[in-house]
């Protein structure tokens, strides 16, 4: 039989243990709550990125010799001898190449009619044998191709196996949340791995763009939609909730927490809460990259420069074409005079890296450009220090 004093002591010890457990639980709850608040706060400050800009790998560069393409390194040393009828840049360790003896003139950068396309590694070995009518670079482990039988787009993995989305018109890229971004009938849509389209709230639809308008994948988790009257706003993806009601005549893509919007005939910008942060005052504003956006002067849609996040000019409007902000601290511009159009690149210091004299400049990375690519569709490689890379 337990004495009353012993029983009282055990009960006190039990109470102490229970209180200790409760205290520990409260501490854990406070830690969990603090972490949750911190995560939400960080998500608000740094919205999740869905799509990203893809850049080619530039340790091996395609070049043309006669009618055939091969690959050289950054010093001009030939690594893969010319033997392809077409060769693209490497992405994720693989490059699209085409073979054939009677290839027609390229329809664009990637299509050669009647020439089967495949993928090689950096040793020049086929990883996926030539078998496709059309093939795009790998992005996030997936690539879009079409077969000679029906020309419809399918998605393959790095082994060449079909993984889904068969029958879509065009595949753009995988998104960070498991969805895919596809371009179909002048619309940019979100679909899952089985091709099922992400459902928008009732009465809203994906925006159908005019030809020539850039159809890009969403960089953040707010996607552009329009209502039945044509007014445009934003829906959260993938929650499907309306975040910014359709109230604008046109909207651009959210990037770096801001999106261009059109009110009447003027463009400005809003933040993720729908607040106007740049008053509508331009004839057009692009999405933001590197803290800047291209803007065209009101009343003169052919005169552009770069603005900052407050709408102030960083680069004064004096050009007919501008890049959408900065990439690697550099921005592209095109000017026009009596001698024709000329392209140039301005660096972080505001000085010209490539003066206004070249044509068809493409940024390939932080220290390499492709210049004067057309009409032969062959890059001339120019380093940031002005050195031309040629095959030895």
Q: Which residues contact 21 (CB under 8 A, 6 or more apart)?
A: none
Q: Which residues contact 374 (CB under 8 A, 6 or more apart)?
A: 359, 360
Mean pLDDT over each residue of the chain, to the nearest integer: 82
Domain boundaries, the chain: 51-198
Q: Which residues contact 59 (CB under 8 A, 6 or more apart)?
A: 73, 74, 90, 122
Taking the CB of residue 254, how many other CB atoms lie within 10 A of it?
26
Query: What pLDDT is attached to residue 102?
Result: 60
Query: How far apart (Å, rounded) are the C-alpha atoms in residues 205 and 187?
Result: 10
Query: What pLDDT is attached to residue 313?
Result: 96
The answer to whether 276 and 270 are in contact (CB under 8 A) is yes
Query: What pLDDT is attached to residue 2?
Result: 43
The answer to whether 206 and 191 are in contact (CB under 8 A) is no
Give Cα 17 distance to the centre of its chain. Answer: 56
Q: Which of 210, 274, 215 is nearest to 242 (CA)?
A: 274
Q: Which of 136, 138, 99 is nearest to 116 (CA)?
A: 99
Q: Does CATH number 3.40.50 belong to domain 51-198? A: no
Q: Which of 270, 256, 260 is nearest to 213 (CA)?
A: 260
Q: Give one word for 51, left, alpha or beta, with left for phi > 0 and alpha for psi -120 to 50.
A: beta
Low-confidence ranges of the chain (pLDDT < 50): 1-5, 7, 10-11, 14, 17-18, 21-23, 25, 28-29, 31-46, 105-110
Query: What pLDDT is attached to residue 160?
Result: 93
Query: Pairing relation of β-strands 205-206 and 276-285?
Result: unpaired
Query: What pLDDT is attached to residue 104?
Result: 55
CA 106-108-109 angle, 5° bins: 95
147: three-class secondary structure by DSSP = strand
The answer to whether 380 and 388 are in contact (CB under 8 A) is yes
Query: How far apart (Å, rounded) are the C-alpha atoms in residues 314 and 312?
Result: 6
Query: What pLDDT is attached to residue 112?
Result: 60
Structure tokens at 70: 């091969």
Q: pTM higher than 0.85, yes or no?
A: no
Q: Which of 360, 364, 363, 368 is nearest to 384 (CA)?
A: 368
Query: How far apart (Å, rounded) are the C-alpha atoms in residues 183 and 181?
Result: 7
């Amino acid at each position: 039989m337990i004495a009353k004093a012993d029983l009282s002591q055990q009960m006190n010890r039990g109470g102490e243990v229970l209180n200790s457990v409760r205290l520990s639980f409260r501490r854990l709850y406070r830690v969990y709550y603090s972490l949750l608040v911190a995560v939400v706060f960080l998500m608000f400050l740094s919205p999740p990125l869905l799509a990203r800009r893809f850049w080619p790998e530039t340790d091996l560069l395609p070049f043309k010799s006669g009618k055939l393409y091969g690959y050289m390194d950054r010093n001009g040393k030939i690594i893969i001898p010319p033997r392809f009828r077409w060769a693209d840049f490497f992405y994720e360790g693989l490059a699209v190449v085409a073979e054939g003896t009677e290839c027609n003139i390229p329809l664009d950068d990637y299509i050669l009619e009647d020439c089967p396309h495949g993928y090689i590694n950096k040793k020049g070995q086929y990883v996926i044998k030539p078998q496709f009518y059309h093939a795009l670079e790998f992005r996030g482990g997936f690539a879009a191709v079409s077969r000679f039988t029906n020309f419809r787009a399918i998605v393959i993995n790095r082994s060449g196996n079909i993984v889904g989305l068969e029958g879509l018109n065009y595949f753009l890229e995988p998104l960070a949340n498991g969805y895919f971004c596809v371009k179909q009938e002048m619309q940019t849509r979100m679909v899952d791995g089985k091709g099922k389209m992400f459902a928008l709230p009732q009465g809203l639809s994906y925006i159908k763009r005019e030809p020539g308008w850039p159809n890009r994948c969403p960089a953040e988790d707010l996607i552009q939609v329009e209502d039945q009257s044509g007014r445009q706003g934003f829906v959260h993806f993938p929650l499907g909730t309306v975040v910014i009601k359709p109230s604008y005549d046109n909207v651009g893509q959210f990037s770096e927490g801001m999106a261009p919007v059109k009110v009447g005939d003027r463009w400005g910008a809003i933040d993720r809460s729908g607040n106007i942060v740049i008053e509508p005052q331009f004839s057009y504003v692009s999405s933001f990259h590197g803290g800047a956006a291209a803007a065209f002067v009101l009343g003169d849609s052919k005169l552009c420069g770069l603005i900052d996040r407050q709408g102030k000019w960083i680069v004064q409007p004096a050009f007919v074409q501008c890049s959408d902000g900065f990439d690697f601290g550099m921005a592209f511009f095109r000017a026009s005079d009596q001698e024709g159009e000329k392209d140039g690149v301005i660096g972080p210091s505001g000085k010209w890296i490539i003066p206004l004299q070249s044509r068809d400049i493409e940024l390939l990375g932080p220290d390499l450009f492709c210049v004067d690519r057309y009409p032969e569709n062959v890059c001339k490689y120019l380093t940031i220090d002005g050195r031309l890379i040629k095959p030895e």
